[in-house]
Homo-oligomer: A and B are copies of this chain.
């Protein structure tokens, strides 16, 4: 079976998309998610232009990766400078990755008008930069910037630049459609010709400015490209990069060309949701294969057809990519998927049982309110345990009062009072915080630690707020995700309300309960 390598640039080109920002923690999480999917290369940052990226690479080196190799990205040395004197290239070496991508100009217009140098100097910059990195033990991918535009302008010029990189030791040449203006027939022709001319494998990198990045990637593979660069959700400069969540199943399911381990295909949809959650961005419902609507049949005639024979209105089976069929009109969604999740907690659960039906009903109801249990496994497990097994609560909230205060020439702040009952005892506790949620969190923790000292080890490590329906503005529903750790395990809980404090409370409550369940067993005091 033919194989194509998948190169994800969510953390580099993706981060160049408007509205996309990642903290170092986010980046580490995304590396793990992509590795778990079996992606081969993860381009993770540009240490020369962003000093935060060096810190990231230092930490990333400590993550054990099963499938993926980390790649650092940067430009060739500047004109008139030797590679060893160029801080960009030096920081590429310092990043400590086995692989580097280095980009250089391949369009005469850019060499003349943007770089303002000669062809000879540009050739030197490309050749010597690759050689320098190679001499430092790196595997080098040369990103041939504007390759397609440059080729259309002067094919031999573009090819000479690519050949200079090969001469310098680059092990792969990536043909970049930097401006995103290439059409499939052009892509096919230029890739075929370039593959036949170069002595090393060829990769492709398309942008979506004409809405054709996925198509261009696929036709390029059919013409001999060995690697597709893109971003898993299509994030990237301007209209974004080739969306790998569509490229991978197009190649692997439709054309039989291996991209990721076969058993990982069914994780595509889950991976898309995890990545969107970490990025705090909406996953577009219409995304091919992994979108919520990708297998949603709204027209009655289509729904009838699919119930008779799924392939009558589905190009592939949704289960292959871990997605599920939806019939929005008739509300028959995703039961098999939820049952499979329930079985990870109670292996004997049966779809026919009344209790399991109750769980399904309850989840559907919560989803209508805006809950989403993808990325909130602890809340899901709690919900299932509460409905399928005896559960007595560890604590009960009687009330909270929060006072938030601001006055000119004074710091703003908040204080919270929380009253809880644990077993027969009542505890009233107060605390201050930066804002109402932080104050509530502190007060609850102080109150519960009296009864459950184990909670003193718990730390909240992440807090995310997502507004669900912006139309009601400050009165909109919000979904809060809280990630906690007790030093051993890390888990995420969810709450929804049209009050950010109440939504946070629900997620906080779940996080305390989940930890107590895991350390104290199924019953409270």
* Distance between A56 CB and nearest chain B CB, rounded to angstroms: 14
List B contacts of A468 (CB < 8 A): 23
CA A105 to CA B412, docked complex, whole Å:
60
The answer to the question of A471 belonging to the interface, with a C-beta cut-off of 8 Å to chain B, is yes
Known: A309-B113, A408-B396. A17 touches B286 (CB 8 A): yes
Contact with B along A294-316 (1 / 0, CB 8 A): 11111111100100110111111
The closest CB in chain B to the CB of A245 belongs to B211
CA A453 to CA B175, docked complex, whole Å:
58
Contact with B along A447-471 (1 / 0, CB 8 A): 0000000000001111111111111
List B contacts of A180 (CB < 8 A): 288, 315
Instruction: Give the residue of B436, B464, B478, B484 whose beta carbon is less than 8 angstroms from that of A404.
Output: B436
Copies of this protein chain in the complex? 2
- Contact check, A18 vs B328: say whether CB atoms are below 8 A apart: yes
- Contact check, A49 vs B332: say whether CB atoms are below 8 A apart: yes
Which residues of A470-525 have CB atoms within 8 Å of chain B's CB atoms? 470-471, 473-476, 478, 482-484, 497-502, 504-505, 508
The closest CB in chain B to the CB of A309 belongs to B113
List B contacts of A301 (CB < 8 A): 49, 75
A461-B473, A474-B508 provided; 17 other pairs, C-beta below 8 A? Answer: A17-B293, A17-B298, A179-B313, A185-B222, A212-B214, A215-B215, A238-B286, A239-B287, A400-B405, A400-B406, A402-B436, A412-B499, A435-B497, A462-B467, A462-B473, A463-B467, A465-B478
| 10 shortest interchain CB distances as A-B pairs | A435-B499, A181-B315, A460-B473, A462-B470, A215-B215, A211-B214, A399-B407, A211-B246, A465-B465, A402-B404
In the assembled complex, 10 residue pairs joining A and B whose CB atoms fall closer than 8 Å, in A order, are A17-B298, A211-B247, A239-B286, A398-B407, A406-B502, A433-B475, A434-B497, A437-B474, A462-B467, A474-B508
